[in-house]
Amino acid sequence: MTGRICGTGFCVPKRVVDNEELSRMVETSDEWIRERTGIAKRRIITEETTVSMATEAAKQALADAGISAEQVELILMATISSNVILPCAACEVQKEIGAVNAVCFDINAACCGFLTAYQTAQAYIAAGIYQTILIIGSESLSKLTDWTDRGTCILFGDGAGAAVLNAGEGERFQSILHSDGSRGEALSCSGKHWKSGEEDTGFMKMDGREVFQFAVKRVPEVIREVLEANHCKLEEIDYFIVHQANRRIIESVAKRLGADIGKFPMNLQEYGNTSSASIPILLAELRKNGTIKKGNRILLAGFGAGLSWGAGIAEWTIE
């Protein structure tokens, strides 16, 4: 048995913050941000929360899949910005959608969170434990952002994406994930509750250049690794859905692979980097606008805090 994506959904906050607005808050410019990242705007929560956006994305994904909330056996929620520490965000979504038969837990793997949830769901399906699984990536990174730090605040945005996986016959693709905890300081966040001293704001801290260099090296490597593990050729991939962190990173990944940049859809210009939500938001948008079609083979690739990185393959089997 293998897990097939049979429905997707996404939700972003109403409030749009463009680069002009940011340039009134920190010393930056629309030109610099567009040139160095490709980002033009991002969505920031006002009354929305990580759980409310996840709930909306989950409802859409279930409706798209034609599956009732009661049929869901497992909810995996990838997030680093849940509303509260306890209960977990997956349980809060369960309550909101009425998925009374589901087991629920959160996954903290930052920008690799959705991919980690995808691999975990596939493993449960392959083991015959669950057949119908809801996976979600939802973030309110604006809560963890230092709005006086131009090195990070220009990058991030809020949002949620979800997908429903159903067990079915067919080829099973192996996902590959890696972590290197020794490089964790490159992108860290102690959280306001645990901040270690006066100099620690508790907000996200990042060595942008280190993360950039890590991404452009490791992402092409793991894409090649996952293709080889699944006896799949680069040309057989219709779309590469890469974590939406920076347009230059995605362009470099395409170049290093020798792949057509046209196969790397992007929406980071609209939403910025939404961490675990970036891959499922893009997936849901591409489904909604009819870009992804039945029979397409899609490669998902993520990277981020941990440091962690990975890739997985999904065969698109729905109309």
Taking the C-alpha atoms of residue 126 and residue 1, their distance in angstroms, rounded to an integer, is: 6
Could you tell me if 275 and 145 are in contact, meaning their C-beta atoms sit under 8 angstroms apart?
no
Smallest separation (angstroms) from ligand UT7 to the CB of 293: 29
- The residue annotated as part of the active site, out of 166, 230, 243, 246, is 243
Q: Is 211 in the site for ligand UT7 (CB under 6 A)?
A: yes
Instruction: Output 56 or 139, the one with its CB closest to ligand UT7.
Output: 139
Instruction: Output 32 or 130, the one with its CB closest to ligand UT7.
Output: 32
Catalytic residue status for 166: no
Q: Is 300 in the site for ligand UT7 (CB under 6 A)?
A: no
Smallest separation (angstroms) from ligand UT7 to the CB of 285: 19
Catalytic residue status for 19: no
Taking the C-alpha atoms of residue 240 and residue 251, their distance in angstroms, rounded to an integer, is: 11
From 60-68, 175-183, 204-212, 308-316, span contacting ligand UT7 (CB under 6 A): 204-212
- The residue annotated as part of the active site, out of 111, 112, 153, 189, is 111
Instruction: Output 187 or 254, the one with its CB closest to ligand UT7.
Output: 187
Q: Among residue numbers 212 through 271, which ones bind ligand UT7 (CB under 6 A)?
A: 212, 215, 245-246
Catalytic residue status for 91: no
Query: Cα dist. 276→137, 286, 312 in Å?
Result: 5, 17, 15
Q: Is 186 in the site for ligand UT7 (CB under 6 A)?
A: no
- Fill in the per-residue mask, 146 to 165: x = in contact with ligand UT7 (CB under 6 A), - = not in contact: ----xx--x-----------
Smallest separation (angstroms) from ligand UT7 to the CB of 112: 9
From 31-39, 177-185, 253-261, 285-293, span contacting ligand UT7 (CB under 6 A): 31-39
Taking the C-alpha atoms of residue 292 and residue 295, their distance in angstroms, rounded to an integer, is: 9
Residue numbers of the site for ligand UT7 (CB under 6 A)? 28, 32, 36-37, 111, 150-151, 154, 187, 206, 208-209, 211-212, 215, 245-246, 273, 304
Residues carrying an active site annotation? 111, 243, 273
